[in-house]
C-alpha cells in the first residue's frame, strides 16, 4: 500500500482543531503550525503532539518570506521553533513556507535551523473557501508519495477528512507522515 501525506497548515484553532483530530481518528498527519496561534493555544499544540502527529514550523506571523530581510525571516522561523520545542519537547524538523513563497534565501534560513522545506503536490484550495465536495475531489488527485495541502480553521476541511480517508483507502493508498 502506497502512502499519501495529509498536511494541515495554519493551526491550531479551538473552533476546528479538536474536531479535526477526531475526524483523523488514529490516522497520523503533519501539522504545520503558525507560531502566534500555537502561543495562543498551547494545550491544542500538546494535544496534536500527544495524538502522534508530526508538528512542523509554519513561521510566527505567516508572512511572505521572500520579501523579508534575512534577520526578520530568521526570527520568524527561530521563534516558532523555540515555542514548538518548548511545548512538545521535540524540535520540529519540517518547515512549510506560508503561501509556498520560497527562494534560495528562504532555503538557506530553513536549512540553518535544521529544517527540511515541504511543499505539496495537491492543493485542495480549502484556503479559498472550497466546499467539502471540492476538497475531497481535489484530494482524489493525490498520487502515491504525494503531499496534500489542507488547512485548519476550515469547517469544510474537517467535514472532508473522513471522506478523503475513505477515498484513499478505496484506491489502495494510505495516509502517511511527511518526513524530513
Q: Which residues are catalytic?
A: 9, 151
Residue spans of beta strands (DSSP E) within the chain = 2-9, 30-33, 54-57, 94-95, 116-117, 122-123, 147-151, 173-176
- Which 3 state secondary structure label does DSSP give 61? coil
Cβ–Cβ < 8 Å for 136, 101: no
**Does residue 152 contact residue 24 with C-beta atoms inside 8 Å?**
no
Amino acid at each position: 500500500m502506497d502512502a499519501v501525506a495529509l498536511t494541515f497548515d495554519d493551526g491550531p484553532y479551538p473552533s476546528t482543531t479538536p474536531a479535526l483530530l477526531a475526524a483523523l481518528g488514529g490516522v497520523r498527519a503533519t501539522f504545520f503550525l503558525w507560531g502566534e496561534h500555537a502561543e495562543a493555544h498551547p494545550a491544542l499544540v500538546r494535544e496534536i503532539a500527544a495524538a502522534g502527529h508530526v508538528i512542523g514550523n509554519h513561521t510566527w506571523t505567516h508572512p511572505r518570506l521572500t520579501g523579508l530581510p534575512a534577520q526578520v525571516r530568521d526570527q520568524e522561523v527561530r521563534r516558532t521553533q523555540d515555542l514548538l520545542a518548548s511545548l512538545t519537547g521535540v524540535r520540529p524538523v519540517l518547515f512549510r513556507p506560508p503561501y509556498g513563497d520560497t527562494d534560495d534565501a528562504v532555503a538557506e534560513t530553513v536549512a540553518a535551523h535544521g529544517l527540511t522545506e515541504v511543499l505539496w503536490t495537491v492543493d485542495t484550495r480549502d484556503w479559498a473557501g472550497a466546499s467539502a465536495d471540492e476538497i475531497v475531489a481535489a484530494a482524489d488527485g493525490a498520487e502515491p508519495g504525494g503531499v496534500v495541502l489542507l488547512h485548519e480553521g476550515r469547517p469544510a476541511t474537517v467535514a472532508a477528512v473522513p471522506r478523503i480517508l475513505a477515498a484513499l483507502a478505496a484506491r489502495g493508498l494510505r495516509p502517511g507522515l511527511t518526513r524530513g
